Chain A
């Protein structure tokens, strides 16, 4: 059974902190990688795709290590509004995605 494993949470950080989430996946044939954000009692929303070369979107940086089957998400200068659960997501084939259980982030004043 193919799995996506994430750091257990919650992560409690003060505003302005840098926080990193890690994720490992078991399917070496996976080609698509994402980080989703899920607010409490809401649907998951795409935060960013993860590319082999790494990618950055403002305060968010995602990296992929195919050899180690490892994905990371770095959030710099954390804001209160970053408090949410972050889901690591990997494709199982062309048609379906597998979701990790998520890591909860709590940013405090």
Chain B
């Protein structure tokens, strides 16, 4: 059982570069989420999706974009990377909103220099 798979696990970007963080789940979950976690801080919601074709902003969406063309995939796009985007990014999915909690991927550690 793969669950939620994130790639890459680590990445170093230069300021101004762009990249896509990949997230895929094989549990047929409708709900998917992107969070970032900075040292000593809680997880902050970037974007979420309640189903294919539907996305919505979370608490900290600036500098990011998402798409949800399939149930399985929910990529996160960083355009014009900035040092403030240095963080650990977690993708998560859930079966029915918040009722059963989330399953997380193993994370992507991103450093922008």
Contact = CB atoms under 8 A, between A and B. Distances in A.
Question: Which 9 A-B pairs give the minimum distances between C-beta atoms?
Answer: A91-B98, A43-B104, A99-B43, A101-B42, A94-B97, A32-B98, A99-B42, A46-B101, A95-B97
Range for the number of chain A residues in contact with chain B: 20 to 34
Contacts of B106: 42-43
B31 interface: yes
Contacts of A96: 33, 45, 48, 58, 98
B90 A95 contact: no
Contacts, number: 56
Chain B binding surface SS class: loop
Given A43-B104, A43-B105, A95 B50 contact: yes
Nearest to A48: B101
Given A96-B33, A100-B42, A102-B42, A49 B101 contact: yes
A34 interface: yes
A89 interface: yes
Contacts of A87: 42-43
A43 B33 contact: no
